[in-house]
Structure 1
Amino acid sequence: MDKSKKGLIAASSAMILWGLLPVYWKQMSDVPAYEILSHRIIWSLVASSLLLIPGNRWAAVRDVIGNRKNLYMLMTSGTIIASNWLLYIWAVNKGYIIQCSLGYFINPLLNVLLGFLVFKDALRKVQWWAIGLAAAGVAYQIVQYGRFPWISLGLACSFTIYGLIRKLASVESLPGLFVETAFLSVPAGAFLLWTALSGSGAFPGAGAKTSLLLMGTGVITSVPLIWFVWGARNLSLVTVGLLQFVAPTLQFGLGYWVYHESFSSAQMVTFAAIWVALTIYTVDSFIHRPSPKIADQV
């Protein structure tokens, strides 16, 4: 099997796991979101530490620590991704999986807009139409549904800004995850120590199943990330772009068909507008794709 096929399997597997992640969080719905987040930080630090051992990749971590600019940027990106994780875990366990999926459908279009605003990337007229249509869909929901879709936009904006900072930092994903979680482990560890001493923590008081699930948060954070990064490096940018719609599609299916979340007509209009916008954007990207090349960093 050639590298492109292996890359497709790896990246697709990562997206499927990310799309099914709500099922994992639902198994711990009785645990407060901020406690799950703290465990995710600590166990991700442990998992990334172990995964850095093969190939002696600790040199990359030392390079980050020795570069004050990159170190500060990763401290910032770590804070942002922690807020994204917290909002996502809370929203899933409160019954807002569909709103979460909307956020990750919006994310690619926000990336395009941010590229224009920050990197001065030229946008074609069709791309502007796609962004405008998505914005109109969100505006319709605000007017008709009577509520600002803050969960969706919060997830989309935080993940977009996180991606921007990681792009500017130019640090590989795994060493970057280690540095981010090492920084976050101080408050997370202090909080978990307090819950353990006070007897209010879920680990290990909630039983073996919950304790194992909390420990597994490090694996479900680190492993899909490695799969996706490796896969993306062996795929065209267009293929990577198409794959990013797998996870929110699965999330939407889980929210609607498995967990039977409410789905209003206003939400349907918003989703329809964004789906059409993404179709326009994807077709335009395919037509104007650059010469075949390998994605060198995600």
Structure 2
Amino acid sequence: MNLQQLHHFVALADTRSFSRASEVVHVTQSALSRSIQMLEQELGMPLVDRIGKSNELTPLGTQVLARARHIVQEAAELRRAATLMAGGAAGTIALGMGSAPGALFAAPLMTHLLRSHPQVQLRLLGGAPELQIAQLRARQADGLVITYRALPPVDDLQFEVLPALRSGFVCRTRHPLAQRPRLRFEDLRAYPLVCTQVSDDAARTLIERYGERAHPQPWIQAASEDVGALLRTVAATDAVFLGVVAAARAQLAEGGLHELMPTPDAKLQAQFAFVTLKGRAESPALQVVRDFCRSLVRDALAGQIPPP
């Protein structure tokens, strides 16, 4: 048997049709039929029951399909790895990125690639975590930068958990609370809260620090995955933003926004992860992106992250 025969068999199993499978693998229907027959002869038993226009896998065919699919995928990854290594740190990277990590990573990453790696083309993909994971599995994305708590416990994903970043409260510079020398939680609670989805861990931390009135659900006036929209709302109203402080770095540096520091400190943290498909070859270009994300988090922790 050979790889081509296995590839033909997987196509037939997926389509259940010799005519459609021949179109998928770009051979004539007679050539596909001969290929399947040769594979069956070598294995000594039929793989497909041909009943009229219906083509159903035999018990042996079902067993062979799982192994054949794995072999075909591994061969494709070998070819891809060789192509990527030959190309060096170049090519197109499709990177899934949620709104919260996007507010931190997107602009600095694009700037870095344009300045230091102009041969790398970047496509940022948005959407809910479930959609991004589906895109990764379908190989429509090379990697994801996603909120760690949004990751399901699955075996086919490989993730690098990045260091936790400080979360806190942010308001406009001319907000009534901005000039308070000592800020209590009750002062914060008097103003509407805007944020992305608050995790159960963050909600528990708030309640432990400040009591039951700190439960975010009845307090939240507006919620969105668009962090940029939330920060623009805060800049124009008396609402208070709750989220990763580094996401507001540009507005904080320009003086348009102000970080509120209630007593006691909430000690909230957010954590992101760099996610790839387990077993998939990683291109040098994706490694450049991964390394930059690591360095950006380190800079944020050191307070040295530049505005975009």
Instruction: Output the TM-score relative to the length of structure 2.
Output: 0.20
Higher helix share: 1
Max Rg structure: 2
Query: Highest relative contact order (Cα 8 Å, sep 6+), 1 or 2?
Result: 1
Structure holding more strand per residue: 2
Q: TM-score, normalised by structure 1?
A: 0.20
